[in-house]
Structure 1
Amino acid sequence: MMRQSSAADGAPLAGAVGKEGRFATLTFERDVAASPSVLWQAWTAPAARAVWAAPSPSVTVEFLEADTRIGGREVSLCKVEGAPEIRCEIGWLELRPEACSVNYEVLSSGDVKQSVALVTANVSGTQEGSRLVLTVQLSSLAEDMAPGYREGFGVGLDNLADTAERTLLLQRVIQAPRSIVWGAWMNAETLPQWWGPEGFSCQTKRIDLRAGGEWVFDMIGPDGTVFPNHHRYHEIRPEGRIGYALHWGENGPKHADAWASFEDEDGATKVTLGMVFSTSAECREAKGFGAVELGLQTLGKLEAFVTPR
């Protein structure tokens, strides 16, 4: 499990105060009960970042942009009742999957820049567990932001560790161009034809594959058991990423935040399907009844659909 925060977490290793501002280098470490691939997705995937970004229930984080690739940026607003909004802009400078990321971060309140920082994240570990080491090189522009960064990153990384520990991750390289794979997924006629594990079929009630749309359907098991499902889509980035919420039946309780991403890989397509369950218990239960194996069967059916023999 993750190491609990201590007073030393985020302590400045070096600092200086001058006319041009305040400078500090902050370091944070977390041990996480998840593999490096899962931790990496929790750290970089916009759907997962939206789950752990808010440091407390009193804080709302609204994402305006989210483009996790080198040269891409993420823009969000941090809102607390009765306080000015804080705008956070992140730009991704380096992304080495499951190993290292580097990004800049600019915090602003109104038209005033509060701070700029260079954030370096290093990931290491095994299938049983991972370590995240984060270095923040901070320049405070309006006031000394180091205490806020220590508190914010400390709580945020605790949230990140918790998120990673209730994330289920599936990946498969499909031997077809990304446009073909995307087309099979984002087509109301074809999606129900392959979705679900082997032996399962879909009975659609409503389907509208767009941001703000939904898919209400029943999964029918090999023995005739009916499993009601409701997907609510909140992000569609053509041929890149889908973000959606999973509900137990039509308008039922949400049990996971999910995303699917699509990447070119030597003429093939790497598909990543991630799910952050509402609780760790739900994640353990899903893994216990074979969700990983059943999910990989679903991606296998997708490959069979787009690469007919």
Structure 2
Amino acid sequence: MSAFLILVKRNIKLFFKDKGMFFTSLITPLILLVLYVTFLGNVYRDNFTSLLPDTLQLSSGLIDGLVGGQLVSSILAVSCVTVAFCSNFLMVQDKVSGAIKDFRIAPIKSSVLSLSYYMATLLSTLIICLIAMGFCLAYLAVVGWYLSFADVCFLFLDIVLLVLFGTALSSIINFFLSTQGQISAVSTIISAGYGFICGAYMPIYSFGETLQKIISFLPGTYGTSLIRNHTMQGVLAEMKAQGIPEAGMKELRDLLDCNLYFFGHQVDLPAMYLIVGIAVVVLIMLYVLLNKCKKQK
């Protein structure tokens, strides 16, 4: 246990000591927030208002609250995974520098070594994502606050769960990397592509039917929906109270990806938690197994 704690402390210290890596990871969610507000805010607002009947008039604050919740959920859903990849690049850098060879010949179990990287990445990513969550909640407080205390608590739980998933996923992918060029390539691909396949950048309904079915198998999609539900639950409840019928609310929740469907069957929130949780456990076990096989080889 002492070796595990020493390695975790060492990895976290090296990550925060690398100012370039740390600030890049921290600034990424903030840049996304600025870009979303600047370029996508009006698009989301126009798409929503075009769906409203002429007889229904909602306040601008309510609409801004809905748009803000959608923007914030997209940012947090993407950041929990992309930041994990940045935090986990220390594992690859140890391969580049040769430090990993010293660890592997030392009397340290492969499982301890692999889990120390995982835990250090988890804690570093969680710190950055919680800071990003604070900025996002401050933004919602400005444009329109409809979150309850329970919503904030569940949002925190969603972020923790999605960071666990992102860390496990990055650990497996980074396991096969060994050069700085590979780090840059993977970072670019993940940053550009993950937001689309998890439904953060574009609503799932906008994809083709075949692609929708493929995306329904990805755990990250359900993580994004969990965050969407808890950032927009309050504002959706207020809209229903102001006169939007139940059928209209269901259609709206479908369009916002608050409701997800697996081959026509709606997936409820407990099932979403279960899907992401099982994915985390399976990925961690696979990651430890890969390291164990590497040690034996």
Q: Could you say whether these structures have the same fold, taking a TM-score greater than 0.5 normalized by the shorter chain as the test?
A: no
The structure where strand makes up a greater share of residues is: 1
After TM superposition, the score normalised by the length of structure 2 is 0.28
After TM superposition, the score normalised by the length of structure 1 is 0.27
The structure where helix makes up a greater share of residues is: 2
**Highest relative contact order (Cα 8 Å, sep 6+), 1 or 2?**
2
